[in-house]
Structure 1
Amino acid sequence: MKSLLKGIGLAAAGCALGTSAMVASAQAEGEVNVYSYRQPELIQPLMEAFTEKTGVKANVVFAKKGLAERIQAEGKNSPADVLLSVDIGRLQGAKDLGITQPVISDVINNNIPVNLRDADNHWFGLTTRARVIYASKDRVTQDSITYEELADPKWRGRICTRSGQHDYSIGLFASMIANKGEAEAQKWLEAVRDNLARKPTGNDRAQVKSIFAGECDISLGNTYYMGKMQTNTKDPEQKDWAASVRILFPNTEDRGTHVNITGMVLAKNAPNKDNALTLMEFLASDEAQAIYAAKNFEYPVKPGVQTSDLVASWGSFKADSISLSDIAANRTKASEMVDLIGFDNGPSS
């Protein structure tokens, strides 16, 4: 067990926890063990609020990748109770690995909309992030757009985006398949490829940097990156990037803007199942939703919980109500389509 956990950063709510301590406390009264793809500083306020409210100590393991596979390898001896993740692909992937179990909770089901949770109750959304268009304030005058419009020849050489195989891209492309059908989605994606200013490269913030530099006029990106750029004191030049663009929420006048989620699952062999359920119900509460969304510049999934003032300043939008289960079911097709048309080879392919 120690070898399985070696090298992973560990943090508890308010204190550090060694690997041996995590293993020793796998089943401990008044504790819950959380594996998280989200950085400790992003979820620590949540864990502290949870402990203050319930008296249950939250032990958190953080890693950028491989946690679901780790839980699978640990098997019945896994200390993991709850896995926190980002993107529907990773959440569905955890279910597909067989490391989750269903959760039946009226609290969770009443707080989290049905399209943002698994039909079999294996994963649940906690916050949403919209896949939007960052548009140059100087070179783009329109104030509305659709994803379909990205295929218009008027955008030839003017679009920047990250790799088509990135989880965020695959989620959007899968939503186009779910909404439009495979044939129409492929035709659209080919046209978007031909409108690219260059080969897909970099992350979402790098696309905004390219707009700032005049290399392209619009880009695809997640909303929360605007918040990260606008508040970046470590790299203040990112504030200039953010100031050069505005957010356009695609398809707000029809089916709505594509959204993805951060979310949670209950580990299949959770040794502290009751405490895990208590934590999951807390994370779906008004209090936790407000903390989590504000800290990460995201949108609460629970209706009625307000966004932060900064997020609200970007404008309101209508979210696509399609079930994320349907999007998850089309992710493999979307990935195959990206390779089939040579999307990542750029406009010359």
Structure 2
Amino acid sequence: MEADTLIAAGRRTVNIEAAAAAALEARIDENFARAADLIMHCTGRVIVTGMGKSGHIAGKLAATLASTGTPAFFVHPGEASHGDLGMITAHDVVIALSYSGETGEILTILPLLGRLGVPLIAMTGKPESTLASRSHVHLDVSVEVEACPLELAPTSSTTAALVMGDALAIALLEARNFTAEDFARSHPGGSLGRRLLLTVADVMHTDEALPLVNEHAMMREALLEMTAKGLGMTGVTDAEGRLIGLFTDGDLRRALDRDLDIKRAVIADYMTHSPKTVGPDVLAAEAVRLLETHRIGGGALMVVDDDTRPIGALNMQDLLRAGVI
């Protein structure tokens, strides 16, 4: 096939599926609101089920609900009648996806759902189907035509079900006042989770790994401390153990420009006085902002307690490794 033919087929598919999705807007109605209300008042879990391609969409919907504040999981309808129905309780809500509304594996489990009194939300393309008629709420995801020219592969229909499911999940997210912080808590391994949950205390170097010298230390002493701890810096403390300065690789380069005599130099004469610091409970992302805003040389930060005593240290490399940047 020539490129023009392939491009035309791809564009036709996009246009057909976009039209199928756009047609759903008019069906976001009282039934949609009733479905959302059933889920909002659910004291258990939302069980999503479907066979074949609908099953894949059902799995995605369960995952989207779970990550946006609605506890949910997928149950395979074929396995349900062989023991997995034990996962469903009277406190749950079931969402069943079947374009025909006649999927045998789903119809088989309907009597038990009825005996449990579980609210059933059906998502089908056939409002007159068995599944639709036996549901408490029916969401119409019918399409005029599949994008597949053979009218065999579910394409537009699965897109419509996917979009309807996303619409339901987002409506519930807004109804629950679900925030970015809430989202981060269910995605601690993602970049958003790291930015919104990771604190300075989670990434800082402490105890024996914390580079520190007192204000009377000689320059060579400070350099040995910096080398041993490998952070490209050392904090400088007074007699009471409070932080009064910071000496970094950048300070060393500037000191060398002043004809530094390493054997005689005292660190207090070359350190940066009253350096920027952070507390251990500050978000690591806020530490990044502080480093960038103040253009702190070497990307070095000391972490102090309420009495300005150093309890940790970190640099830009630590934040990079933690995935905050």
TM-score scaled by length of structure 1:
0.24
Larger Cα Rg: Structure 1 or Structure 2? 2
Q: Indicate the structure whose relative CO is greater, using CA pairs within 8 Å and at least 6 residues apart.
A: 1
TM-score scaled by length of structure 2:
0.25
